[in-house]
Structure 1
Amino acid sequence: MRRPPRIHGRRAAATVALVCALTATTQQAARAEPMTLAEVRARLQSLYHDAEVATDKYDAADVKVARQKKRVGTLTAQVHATEVRLARLTALAGAAARAQYRSGGVPAELQFALADDPGRALDNAGLALQAQQNTQNLLTDLTATRADLRSRTGAAAAELKRLQAGRRAMDTERGKIEQHITEARTLESRLAATERQRIADLDRRDADKAQVKWESTGILKKVGTHGTTAGKKAIAYATRQLGKPYVWGAEGPDSFDCSGLTSQAWLAAGVTIPRTSEQQWAQLKHVPVEDMRPGDLIIYFSDASHVAIYVGGGNIISAPRPGRVVYVSPAASMQILGVVRPDA
């Protein structure tokens, strides 16, 4: 093989390295050397894993922006309601003042002296003064409330702008996702159909081997076999999505990424859970693997970058990665980090 020309710069070096890797992989794969296929397979797994990690970050940024928009909307509505109430009360107070002026604005003391029934006049004057004081107190409180709400709305709007700026910066993550997926697909396209089939067979072999090892511990005799009513609804939803394609950042109805599927499955069961696998791991209740039951979510890999819904019998339903569809697979086919329970 001719030595590639010497090119300076990290981008050029990366390009040369990729070209060399693809060339070597193609040549070695053509000789059907198992080690080469193992290297190709490891590279594909790494690329798709990195794409999923970047997807989780991208989705998390979307969630934060959506949540902050809702908060700003709520505060804005509260400001509006307070201003409407304040305007109405101010108008009523003004009408009362004008009525008093039209009646001559006689002081309460003089009304008492001239009245045929001094006791009743005194009561009426006291009630009027009390009503005026109560109105003034309420106007003062509402004015303070409006000022506080305006301040909080301004702060929330500023935070929204910051999050939106961060979300735009997440285009970097979008670029990473697309780069990893493109590189993986390019690598796969260099392989013959028989080589791609051999890699798929290796994936299944390792998944089955990991599952047999996991089940040999007697785990299936310990885990629950019956889910809750909500858990059954979540599983039913996930089951209806079988065969739909994986698309990063998608949460239905036509395609899903891994956490898009699990979050929508539990939403269909009436339970709102965090959007991303990392947030699901961080915020939902952890349960020991041996105590899990159908409907629980299994979190995978040390960085919590993948999630699936446990459906019982040692199986899961998940949206695995680009190029695949929502499917049923062995629960131990990937490295299990832990289990969380949405309806704890």
Structure 2
Amino acid sequence: MGSGKRGLLTAALTVVCAVTVLAAPGTAFAAPAPIPAPTPTPAVTPLPDKDLEEVRARLDKLYHDASVATDAYNAAEEKVKEQSAEIAELARKLDQGQRRLDALKDQAGATARDQYRTNGLSSTAQFLLTDDPGRFLDGTGRMLQGQRAATGLMADMTRAQQELRTYADDAAARRKRLESDRRAKAAAKKKTEQQIDAAKELESRLEKKEKERLAQLEREAAKKAQTAWLDTGVLKDAHGTASAPGEKAVKYATAQLGKPYVWGAEGPDSFDCSGLTSQAWAAAGHPVPRTSQEQWRRLPHVAVKDMRPGDLVIYFDDASHVALYIGDGTVIHAPRPGRTVTEAGAGSMPILGVVRPDA
């Protein structure tokens, strides 16, 4: 019998014997030793609001930095797309130019072969060697035409060669910039992921009740900021109505409510902040720049008091966040990782300004 089976059998017999002894009538037993009481788990004291406010400030900083890095990533991504398309177009022009130059070379070669067959005289020159004056004059004209054609052919070849060199140099420079932008894109991606990971790690240290209280503090801070903004009377005379494209942009953004924030995403299943606004206006037939910083830089600015539904509200001094205004002091935006596309008070974050895609 193997040792494993022997061990199992011994254990089984021990159990059987124990059960038998316990079941036998009249058997006396010593009083069992008292079981020690379990050590009570010390109650976890939730962090006070002061400490949670520090956590909230730290999280806001991490997610803000992640938003800045996301904008850098999106900008680099757009450059990579544009430069790839430009390089493809240059490759097409290079191919066309090379085929044109080859055709010109074939034409020049045919002329050279013709001259070789006639001892250096072209067929036109041979035609001139005649005693007929009329034919001579006519041949002179033909020869001049031939000379001009040859000169034009050489000029065309020179231009074609110069164009090819220009295209080749341009393509080389664009490839160099493309590699640089790809490195910038990779660096921005790494930085974004580091900031988001740090924020998630910080949040993971919180107990459930602390997370709930933290969320409540965030809502209270947003409400306080929104109330203070409205109390300035900035919207007192704001009665602008949406343009037809603006209505389409609002309709698109509203349909995305509840979809998750994913950095670098531009739909259809997830969005980052500028991915949402750029797609909303693309759906309205007015494409806008991909990033919040470019939207701020390139789109027409309007006063906050004059904003209307469909306008884009740009936030923070570095234009690192954007939302779409839907009226009544409310915006739709994709806030940050871990959140979904949602409505918020337009003044719940520091407003840099407002831009209008269809101004």
TM range (shorter): 0.7 to 0.9
* Distance change (3 Å), C-alpha of 1:185 and 1:202: closer
SS for the counterpart of 2:235 is helix
Residue 316 of structure 1: aligned partner? 331
Contact 2:67/2:320 (CA < 8 Å) preserved in 1?
A: yes
Partners in 1 of 2:340 and 2:95 — Cα distance? 47
Fraction of identical pairs, as percent: 44
**174-183 or 105-114: bigger deviation:** 105-114
Q: Does 1:185 align with 2:200?
A: no
The corresponding residue for 2:182 is 164
Please name the residue that 1:112 is paired with.
128
User: 1 CA distance for matches of 2:77 and 2:326?
Assistant: 29
Q: 1:55 to 1:335 in 2, by over 3 A?
A: same
* Of 260, 277, 282, the match for 2:275: 260
- CA–CA distance in structure 2, aligned partners of residues 41 and 263 of structure 1: 29
Q: Which residue of 1 aligns with 2:63?
A: 48
CA distance in 2, matches of 1:72, 1:106: 43
Residue 196 (structure 1) aligned with residue 176 (structure 2):
no
Question: Which has the higher mean CA deviation after the structures are superposed, 282-291 or 103-112?
Answer: 103-112
Q: Which residue identity lines up with residue 178 of structure 1 in the other structure?
A: I
CA 1:144–1:249 in 2, change beyond 3 Å: closer, same or farther?
same
Given that 2:87 and 2:174 are in contact with CA atoms closer than 8 Å, whether structure 1 keeps it comes out as yes
Cα distance in structure 2, aligned partners of 1:106 and 1:209 = 93
CA offsets per residue over residues 130-155 of structure 1, 9 Å max, x none?
A: 21211111111111111111111112
The answer as to 2:89 corresponding to 1:89 is no
Q: Secondary structure at the match of 2:319?
A: coil
**Cα separation, partners in 2 of 1:106 and 1:60, compared to 1, 3 Å:** closer
Cα contact 2:66–2:193 (8 A) shared by 1 = no
Between stretches 119-128 and 88-97, larger displacement belongs to: 88-97
Q: Does the 8 Å contact 2:332/2:344 carry over to 1?
A: yes
The aligned residue for residue 92 of structure 2 is 77
Count residues in correspondence: 313
Describe the SS at the equivalent of 1:197.
Answer: helix
**Partner amino acid for 1:182?**
K
Q: What's the CA shift string for 1:93-134, capped at 9, x where partnerless? A: 333444555577447555334156233222222222221211
Deviation at 1:234, TM superposition (A): 2.1
Matched, 1:331 2:346: yes
Following TM superposition, by how much is the alpha carbon of 1:295 offset from its aligned partner in structure 2, in angstroms? 1.6
2:171 to 146, 153, 157: 153
Distance in 1, Cα, partners of 2:207 & 2:76 = 36
Task: Work out the CA distance in 1 between the residues paired with 2:189 and 2:226.
Answer: 38
Counterpart residue type for residue 156 of structure 1? R
The answer on whether the counterparts of 1:54 and 1:176 sit within 8 Å (CA) in structure 2 is no
Separation in 2 of the partners of 1:37 and 1:162? 41
Deviation readout 1:166-208 (Å, 9 max, x if unpaired): 3333454144233233224314xx2324x43343333333333
8 Å contact kept, 1:278–1:305: yes
Q: CA deviation at 1:307?
A: 0.7
- Report if aligned partners of 2:94, 2:167 keep a CA contact under 8 Å in 1: yes
Give the whole-Å Cα distance in 1 for the aligned partners of 2:358 and 2:111: 56
Task: Return the letter of the residue paired with 2:139.
Answer: A
**1-structure distance, mates of 2:177, 2:314:** 31
- The normalised TM-score by structure 1 is 0.81
Say which SS state the counterpart of residue 35 (structure 1) adopts: helix
Q: Which moved more, 1:44-53 or 1:134-143?
A: 44-53
Q: How does 1:1-344 map to 2 (within 5 A)?
A: 27-29=45-47, 33-99=48-114, 101=116, 105-106=121-122, 108=124, 111-114=127-130, 115=132, 117-187=135-205, 190-193=206-209, 195-223=210-238, 225-344=240-359
Question: Bigger radius of gyration, 1 or 2?
Answer: 2
Q: Is the 8 A contact 1:52 1:177 kept in 2?
A: no
- Tell me if structure 2 keeps the 8 A contact 1:181–1:322: no
Structure 1 residues 327, 119: closer, same or farther in 2, change over 3 A?
A: same
Q: Secondary structure at the match of 1:27?
A: coil
SS at match of 1:249: coil
